[in-house]
Amino acid sequence: MTAHAESHSAHEKKHHGAGFYIGIWIFLLFCTAATYGAAQVDMGAWNLPVGLAIATLKGAVVCLFFMHLWGDTRANQFILILSLLFVTLMISMTLADVNTRFPLTAPPNSQRFKVNPNGQLE
């Protein structure tokens, strides 16, 4: 491989224009407004998943387009997915622990510690 060919090997992919990145940015600003707007609406227990879903969408867009993961090597894509998998594992198992413990072991002001006026566990 000659030096000339080397310097262009990294550029064989078609690259987006500057306008593409600005377009992504506008989409991200729109999503931010949507997150803020969704938080003003009371959807009960759905507020958290909706907020996280929009955040995940924004994060995915940043990864895929600003960080060039779209069309990148499989190895780079895999690292991110694997770490997110382990984060999900960590959080879900620890939450499962607190949520399935005997309720009276929870702190007195916590959601799980519920005792009715007769002093019985709810």
Partner 1 sequence: MQTDAIDHGHEAKPTHLRFQFSDSARQFHAAKFGMWLFLGQEVMFFSALFCAYAYYRNQFPDAFWHASQHLNTKFGLWETVDLLTSSLTVALAIHFIRQGKRGLTSAMLIITILCAFIFLGMHSFEYYTEFHEGLLPGRFFHPEASIHLPPESAMFFTCYFFVTVLHSIHVIIGIIVLAIILAFNLRGKYSSAYYTHVEVGGLYWHLVDLVWIFLFPLLYLIT
Partner 2 sequence: MSLAVVPEAAPHEAAQEPDYIRAKSGVLSWLLTVDHKRIALLYLGTVTITFFLGGLFALALRTELLVPDHGIMDAMTYNRMFTLHGVTMVFFFMIPAIPGVFGNFFLPIMIGAHDVAFPRLNLLSYYLYLAAVILGLWGMIHGGTDTGWTFYTPYSTTTTTAVLPILAAAFINGFSSILTGVNFIVTIHTLRADGLHWMRLPLFLWSIYGTAVIQVLATPVIGITLALAGVEHFLGTGIFDPAHGGDPILFQHLFWFYSHPAVYIMVLPAFGVASELVGAFTRKPLVGYKMIALSTFGIAFVGFLAWGHHLFTSGQSAVDAGVFGFVSMLIGIFTSIKIFNWVASMYKASIYMTSPFLYTLGFFFLTVFGGMSGVALATISLDVHWQDTYFVIAHFHFIMAGGVVLMFVGGLHYWFPKMFGKLYNEGWAMVAAVLVILGFIGTFTPQFLLGNEGMPRRYYSYPPHFQFLHVTSTIFAYILGMGLLLALINLIIGLINGPRAGNNPWGAPQYEWDTPSPPPEHNFSATPVINRDPYEYRGQEIIENAN
Q: C-beta of 45: minimal distance to partner 2 in Å? A: 22
**How does DSSP assign 47-98, residue by residue?**
HHHHHHHHHHHHHHHIIIIIS--TTS-HHHHHHHHHHHHHHHHHHHHHHHHH
Nearest to 71 by CA among 24, 14, 115: 14
Q: Which residue in the set 33, 48, 98, 115 belongs to the binding site for partner 2 (CB under 8 A)?
A: 98
Residue appearing with tokens 């620890």? 94
Beta bridge partners of 115: 121
Closer Cβ to partner 2, 43 or 85, answer by number: 85
Q: Which residue in the set 48, 52, 55, 89 belongs to the binding site for partner 2 (CB under 8 A)?
A: 89
- 100 makes contact, choosing from partner 2, partner 1, none, with CB < 5 to 8 Å by partner type, with partner 2
Q: Tell me: does residue 101 bind partner 2 (CB under 8 A).
A: yes
d(CA 46, CA 55): 14
Q: Tell me: does residue 84 bind partner 1 (CB under 8 A).
A: yes
3-state SS class at 99: helix
CA dihedral over 95, 97, 100, 102, signed as positive or negative = negative
Under the rule (CB under 8 A), what is the footprint of partner 2?
75, 82-83, 86, 89-90, 93-94, 96-102, 105, 107, 109-110
Under the rule (CB under 8 A), what is the footprint of partner 1?
1-3, 6-7, 9-11, 15-16, 18, 21-22, 24-25, 28-29, 32, 35-36, 39, 42-43, 47, 51-52, 54-55, 58-59, 62-63, 65-67, 72-73, 75-76, 79-80, 82-84, 86-87, 90-91, 94-95, 98-99, 106-107, 109-112
